[in-house]
Amino acid sequence: MSRVLELDNVVGGYGDTQILHGVSMHVDAGEIVVIIGPNGAGKSTAMKAVFGLLKLTGGDVLLDGKAITNTPPEKVVRYGVCYVPQTGNVFPSLSVQENLEMGAYVRDDDFTPRLQEIYEMFPPLYEKRSQAAGTLSGGQRQMVAMGKALMLEPKILLLDEPTAGLSPKFRGEIFETVKLINKSGTPILMVEQNAKQALGIATRGYVLVDGKNRFEGTGNELLNDPEVAEMFLGGGKQQVLLEKVAVAKPVTGKSAARKSPTGKPAAKKRSRKKSGA
């Protein structure tokens, strides 16, 4: 697969506050790549670094193998990168169609065929094309935001927490929409707090902690990694219960030989190593 986007050991932040400490990741053609991690880990910051919304002091951002590091957003858009922020991503007083047309502002050709493709991709938007975007449900507003970005037929789509604040029903719809966009040929880099669902549709994923790479792998690998599950996928409570059961059982024979000097069961070796911790 051809490499569409790459962050190579990027360092940067806001003012004197450094957030990213050598983050590396990439997106290949046809992929959905998900970034997860705790609050303040640098997930959205990494995405903003791609779009030129903050100054990097080290490393490189590459698009199709060419450096676009610290390129202003208005130029990044013309290079084929579209970014959908978590909030403020539609013009609420404009109609759905006017929002989509605004997404094509840098095009100087007839974008009518592309508008029809967007409506075919998102049938609810066609039905409400004359309605003000601000009156739509949260899920439908996200569809407008993504459709607006797709009007430019980007090389890659950046999505910053597209399901934030949505009900489980609308979260599911948005994840299905992301899969549909990807199936149409657009690679996607997505930051998402709903880690289980996001990794469930991801080709690959990265876990950031304190502005550094902590884990990486396929979506399935990360979902099935016990340490990732305990730290980020809600596996902690289950793990505590398992430990309580283990402590409650009498330990004899060969099992006793595996106890640590403290009398607690010795930890198992992890099958996978952390990356870039």
135-184 tens-digit pLDDT: 999 999 999 999 999 999 999 999 999 999 898 888 999 999 999 999 99
CB atoms within 10 A of CB 150: 23
> What pLDDT shows up at residue 233?
82
Q: Which amino acid is at 128?
A: K
Contacts of 10 (CB under 8 A, 6+ apart): 20, 22, 23, 24, 46, 49, 56, 58, 59, 60, 61
Q: Report the C-alpha gap between 40 and 35 in whole angstroms.
A: 13
Contact 178/32 with Cβ under 8 angstroms?
A: yes
pLDDT above 90: residue 270? no
Look at 239 and 117; give whichever has higher pLDDT.
117
Contact 182/30 with Cβ under 8 angstroms?
A: yes
> What pLDDT shows up at residue 235?
56
Question: What integer is the mean pLDDT of 39-60?
Answer: 95
Q: Which domains does the chain have, with CATH numbers?
A: 1-80+156-277 (3.40.50.300), 86-153 (no CATH)
Question: What integer is the mean pLDDT of 117-138?
Answer: 96
> What pLDDT shows up at residue 16?
87
pLDDT above 70: residue 191? yes
Q: What is the pTM of this model?
A: 0.83
Contact 36/223 with Cβ under 8 angstroms?
A: no
Contact 81/74 with Cβ under 8 angstroms?
A: no
